[in-house]
Amino acid sequence: MQNIAVIGAGTMGRGIAYSAAAAGLSVIVQDVSNTSLHNAEEDIRKQFERAVRKEWVSKEMADERRDTIQFTTEISEAAKDRDLVIEAVLEIMELKTSIFKQLDDLTPPHAILATNTSTMSPTEIAAQTSRPEKCLALHFFNPVPKMKLIEVICGLETSEDTINKAIGFGKSIGKECVKINEFPGFAVSRMNCLIGNEAMNMVMEGVGTPEDIDKAMKLGLNHPMGPLELADLVGLDTRLRNMHYLYETLGEKYRPCPILTKYVKAGRLGRKSGKGFYDYT
């Protein structure tokens, strides 16, 4: 598991790529957008600079590992000769299954295919390939370089060998792994989306301001970040897609809060748009 490809150069993809490269693995990042690739390259450069300032790594080693990362718009270039390919695109099932179909044709037979989905079925995604036993979900958390956990989610036909290799990969990049059997929302997202949605309902009902609700959760339950701050960080559009999926699969208690739908329609997507439950401008 030395040669890694990351499909998607957004926030999660670039975080995964940095973490793997920082651990000394060979990394290729693919995205259809040159702009996204450029932004990813800049962000990864800043991450390595920060690591040098913190004295986690020497400048020479940081430069060496950063320079080994390749960036491409061609999925065929990214997929060849890879041991592990991690898809990190939008939470849209049709997009993920389309990518997995391509990867199945382009990667070597031994390659493991992983989706970074936070809610969607790795079994359904794997069914689009000829190697479901080599497919699973690796759910990283934002921001990837800081967050220690990877949920290793097993699909219906994921083999023990694939699970063990995935956990070995996680350990090799300094992460703790938990093995989760597939069910909608897995473990963390299932709980986190419910907490965040209830916090949004409380804002809508006038129970408290976003600031006070987040403060209550941080000081009262020792959460490192309030649920509304976290939703803004993840992206309210992403959270809404997750809530729709959980509502469809798990029922009424996951019905998206109306204020979440309203904010997304208004373009208030959180940090990435400059405004969500908080103003970042």
pLDDT band, very low/low/confident/very high, at 118 (cuts 50, 70, 90): confident
pLDDT, mean of residues 265-276? 96
String of DSSP letters for 51-69 = HHHTTSS-HHHHHHHHHT-
pLDDT, mean of residues 104-132? 94
Q: What is the strand order of the sheet 149-154 is part of?
A: 70-72, 26-30, 3-7, 84-87, 112-115, 135-139, 149-154, 176-181
- Give the Cα-Cα-Cα angle 226, 223, 145 (nearest 5 degrees): 85
Is the model's pLDDT at 116 over the cut of 90?
yes
- Give the Cα-Cα-Cα angle 279, 242, 116 (nearest 5 degrees): 100
Mean of per-residue pLDDT scores for the chain: 95
3-state secondary structure 189-255: HHHHHHHHHHHHHHHHHCCCCHHHHHHHHHHHCCCCCCHHHHHHHHCHHHHHHHHHHHHHHHCHHHC
Which residues are bridge partners to 28 per DSSP?
5, 70
pLDDT, mean of residues 99-105? 97
C-alpha–C-alpha distance, residues 98 and 29, integer Å: 18
Residue 228's identity, in one-letter code, is: L
CA distances from 233 to 24, 272, 273 (A): 28, 8, 10
Element (H, E) at 20: helix 11-22
Q: What is the pLDDT of residue 142?
A: 85
Share of the chain above pLDDT 70, in %: 100
Q: What is the pLDDT of residue 154?
A: 95
205-258: pLDDT as tens digits: 999 999 999 999 999 999 999 999 999 998 999 999 999 989 999 999 999 999
pLDDT band, very low/low/confident/very high, at 91 (cuts 50, 70, 90): confident
The separation between CA 249 and the C-alpha centre of its own chain, rounded to angstroms, equals: 20
Is the model's pLDDT at 81 over the cut of 90?
yes
C-alpha–C-alpha distance, residues 206 and 204, integer Å: 6
Q: What is the pLDDT of residue 84?
A: 98
pLDDT band, very low/low/confident/very high, at 1 (cuts 50, 70, 90): confident
User: Residues 152, 130: contact at Cβ < 8 Å?
Assistant: no
C-alpha–C-alpha distance, residues 90 and 238, integer Å: 8
98: number of Cβ within 10 Å = 13
138-195: pLDDT as tens digits: 999 988 999 999 999 999 999 999 999 999 999 999 999 999 999 888 899 899 999 9
C-alpha–C-alpha distance, residues 112 and 118, integer Å: 18
201: number of Cβ within 10 Å = 15
46-55: pLDDT as tens digits: 999 999 999 9
Element (H, E) at 141: none
